[in-house]
Structure 1
Amino acid sequence: MSLLLLVTLLCVVPVALSSDVVDLTPDNFDQIVDGTKHVLVEYYAPWCGHCKKLSPTYEIVATSFRKIDSVIVAKVDAEAHTELRDRFGVTGFPTLKFFNKGSTEAEDYSGGRSEDEFIDFLNEKSGSEAKAVKPPSFVVALTANTFEKEVFESGRHALVEFYAPWCGHCMNLMPVYENLAEIFGPESNVLIAKVDATVETNKPLATTYDVSGFPTIKYFAPGSQTPEDYSEGRDLSSFVQFINEKAGTYRKEDGTLASIAGRVAELDVLVSGVTDFTNSHLNQAEAIVEKLEGEDAEHGALYIKAIKKIIPKGSGYIESEIKRLEGLLRNKNVPLVKRKLFEKRKNILKALNGEAIDNQEADETDDEPEVDANEEL
């Protein structure tokens, strides 16, 4: 599969991964903030830097109260829902309002904005004893001791952020970078990592790679010790496209695979228009697969396996198997590696069913993403 085709066919529609923060809109606000529970609400704007800094902390607070039935942690996009902004007199971002159980009148939240301060406030109001529950990080934290093994010896495409804990731009990047790492978690040939460049033992790494500001992001090709500066946008779309181009992966921004994943062009040509698969089709497919290499050979084997099932069971097998796989993919407990396999199998079955690659995935935005300036050391 050519690199150009890969880039052209990838979907760039941003979709957030799972969150415990409840999104409030004019349609559901009064049903959720109805006095039956304690509700903490953040009014934010997508462009607001302070809101971006607060986001990871707010997510931790929401996750910490996920199992406390009497508490809801929520947010309102005040740019999109101006009627909710005006209704509660919101004039700046982020603005936090608290609705006590038994009331639909808002109180201004004026407490601290650390996770512990939020949690203490909600515990006091609700009488609960929630503890901070930090979600697992998909970003690999590297040190001077682990850098060589993880980056040089692993054979992976490595994107490495050099950061400082006090750096505002690094804080803004954190949720996007975490999202990126989660998206590429199932890809064994990709590493999304970070280095705390302020740690004394890590400072030689920062010197070696000419880190003069934070965050500095470097891309290391497999086996290479000479990195490439990452100079693309720092939005999720730009990161996903960059990694897909470099690693030959097919990830979309919602974490799923593009419809091209698993597809083999030569086999798609062979099966195009076929409605009744026979042993002749199987033999031709096997001849093609014998000449394939690497990942294409693995995908070719999935075509062969599917055709062998279709011949005795008929074309009805394709639809029923697609539905079965879609059911499995809706199960959040399916391991990431299995999920990747199921998505590829579904794509291949769609090819065998005569479905072309989704043209929607050829749409790309022409907007140039805004890049924040680095904070100097």
Structure 2
Amino acid sequence: MVGRSIFTRCSFALATFSACIQAEVVDVTGQNFESVVDGSANVLLEFYAPWCGHCKKLAPEYEELGKQFSKDDGIVIAKVDAVAHKDTAVPFDVTAFPTIKWMPKGKTAPSDAEMVNAPRSADGLGKWITDKTGVQARKPAEAPSAVLDLTLETFDSIVMDPTKHALVEFYAPWCGHCKSLAPVYEKLGKVFQAETSVVVAKVDAVEEKDLGGRFGVTGFPTLKYFPAGDGEAEAYGGGRDLKSFVEFLNDKAGTSRTPDGGLAGSAGRLEVLDAVLASRSGLADPLAGLKASLEEAAAKAGYGEEGSDAAASAGHYARAAQKLSEKGNGYLAKELKRLEGLLGGGGGGGGATISAQKRTLFMVRSNILRAFKEFGFGEGGEGETGVQGEL
């Protein structure tokens, strides 16, 4: 029986099987060699050693390659532990690891195998197979990146926008450190994708040599921060982990993001309006005239600029005060619970389906409602039942 390293992705609805896509890399041994390399298909064979560093580095790329081709295409992606199955490897003249060889369809003898000289990556090996056979790799559709790809034509209009804080990675497609950074940088883009004042972007400095030269890029990856306004670009010298990136951009842009894509509890709250809420503590009717007081304090503090974050927050304070007056003390707890459900924390699963902008809005509103709760509002009764919040 052929040993397999199987990669399966299944989706279920109401515990009912709905779809399952399977791809595999075949583990070849002395026992199954003849059933795998039987001439019925082209076979790509990787000979590896468990202790080999280069083999370990290739492993995830090779497994990805296994997802892209199948025997239905006339192509088998296989691997041989050349230490455990030395007798299988020796006839193929394996002298180093990893060694990758191609056994053409219709052939079974080791002497018929062809050495594969291609980049040791899923893309590089996949292109080699396609060039050899004409069979295209089956690649899953990729989700849109949260990191902007910049070119000479788009760079200035985005990065030099005086309203934007931009972090730009200058990379090379062949650079190992750039590849290692890529998943972290993509997460960073997702963390800030709802922040209109922040740009997380990248430049292929091999393709866009003029941009690399313009900003003195001599190594990869190079990260540069471009401040809002007319400030000069500065080299980013912090940590290459998500937490360090998030802290850096929060400090520069005045944002309040957390590494998990959330917002700090202080985000959206305004000290001046919190002071108004605090001043109502202990009053017989703290809601009386509260909305008007909040709007007056916001106007005096200069929070009236249309489209500003402060103006939006001030509006949330005023609307919360109005709703409390209309709906009673039960409003706060019920609205907070509703927002938690929309954000995916209340069992409703809504967090996965709403946009980053909506998530930010709901988190800011939650923070402001908690400010009311912190200063004693919403206590002393359930108020009206069946409260429905407004998006």
Shorter-chain TM-score range = 0.5 to 0.7
CA contact (8 A) 2:164 2:199 kept: yes
Residue in 2 aligned with 1:314? 328
- Secondary structure, counterpart of 1:192 in structure 2: strand
CA contact (8 A) 1:163 1:216 kept: yes
Residue in 2 aligned with 1:337? 357
- The CA distance in 2 between the partners of 1:151 and 1:141, in whole Å, is 11
Which residue of the other structure, out of 41, 62, 74, is the alignment partner of 1:113?
A: 62
Which residue of the other structure, out of 147, 150, 174, is the alignment partner of 2:155?
A: 147
- The CA distance in 2 between the partners of 1:174 and 1:321, in whole Å, is 38
- Highest relative contact order (Cα 8 Å, sep 6+), 1 or 2? 1
Q: CA deviation at 1:243?
A: 0.6
Structure 1 residues 351 and 91: alpha-carbon distance in aligned structure 2, compared to 1, 3 A threshold: farther
Q: CA deviation at 1:112?
A: 5.8
Which residue of the other structure, out of 228, 232, 240, is the alignment partner of 1:234?
A: 240
- The CA distance in 1 between the partners of 2:10 and 2:211, in whole Å, is 35
- The CA distance in 2 between the partners of 1:237 and 1:255, in whole Å, is 11
Q: Deviations over 1:11-55 (max 9, x none)?
A: xxxxxxxxxxxxxxxxxxxxxxxxxx9744xxxxxxxxxxxxxxx
Count of matched residue positions in the alignment of Structure 1 and Structure 2: 268
Residue in 1 aligned with 2:87? none
Which residue of the other structure, out of 237, 244, 261, is the alignment partner of 1:255?
A: 261
Structure 1 residues 287 and 118: alpha-carbon distance in aligned structure 2, compared to 1, 3 A threshold: same
Q: Which amino acid aligns with 1:337?
A: Q
Residue in 2 aligned with 1:220? 226
CA contact (8 A) 1:277 1:311 kept: no
Q: CA deviation at 1:136?
A: 1.6
- Secondary structure, counterpart of 1:193 in structure 2: strand
Which residue of the other structure, out of 144, 167, 191, is the alignment partner of 1:183?
A: 191
CA contact (8 A) 1:62 1:72 kept: no
Q: CA deviation at 1:121?
A: 5.2
- Secondary structure, counterpart of 1:113 in structure 2: helix
Q: CA deviation at 1:338?
A: 1.4
- The CA distance in 1 between the partners of 2:60 and 2:191, in whole Å, is 34
Q: CA deviation at 1:94?
A: 9.9
Structure 1 residues 197 and 339: alpha-carbon distance in aligned structure 2, compared to 1, 3 A threshold: same
CA contact (8 A) 1:157 1:189 kept: yes
Q: CA deviation at 1:288?
A: 0.8
- The CA distance in 2 between the partners of 1:110 and 1:144, in whole Å, is 36
Q: CA deviation at 1:283?
A: 2.8
Residue in 1 aligned with 2:270? 264
Q: Percent identity?
A: 39
Q: Which runs of 5+ in 1 are unaligned?
A: 1-36, 41-60, 74-89, 97-108, 357-377
- The CA distance in 1 between the partners of 2:71 and 2:229, in whole Å, is 49
CA contact (8 A) 1:115 1:132 kept: no
1:351-366 alignment runs, 5 A limit: 351-354=371-374
Residue in 2 aligned with 1:80? none
Q: Which amino acid aligns with 1:302?
A: H
Q: CA deviation at 1:291?
A: 1.9
Q: Which amino acid aligns with 1:306?
A: A
TM-score (norm 2): 0.61
Residues 239-248 or 112-121, more deviating = 112-121
Residue in 2 aligned with 1:296? 310
Residue in 2 aligned with 1:349? 369
Which residue of the other structure, out of 150, 168, 172, is the alignment partner of 1:160?
A: 168
Structure 1 residues 72 and 116: alpha-carbon distance in aligned structure 2, compared to 1, 3 A threshold: closer
Residue in 1 aligned with 2:292? 283
Residue in 2 aligned with 1:374? none
- Secondary structure, counterpart of 2:353 in structure 1: coil
- Secondary structure, counterpart of 1:69 in structure 2: strand
Q: Which amino acid aligns with 2:69?
A: D
Q: Which amino acid aligns with 1:256?
A: G
CA contact (8 A) 1:218 1:230 kept: yes
- The CA distance in 2 between the partners of 1:225 and 1:163, in whole Å, is 23
RMSD: 3.5
Q: Deviations over 1:267-325 (max 9, x none)?
A: 22222374854223333222211123342232111101100110122121001111111
Which residue of the other structure, out of 141, 166, 177, is the alignment partner of 1:169?
A: 177
- The CA distance in 2 between the partners of 1:245 and 1:67, in whole Å, is 46
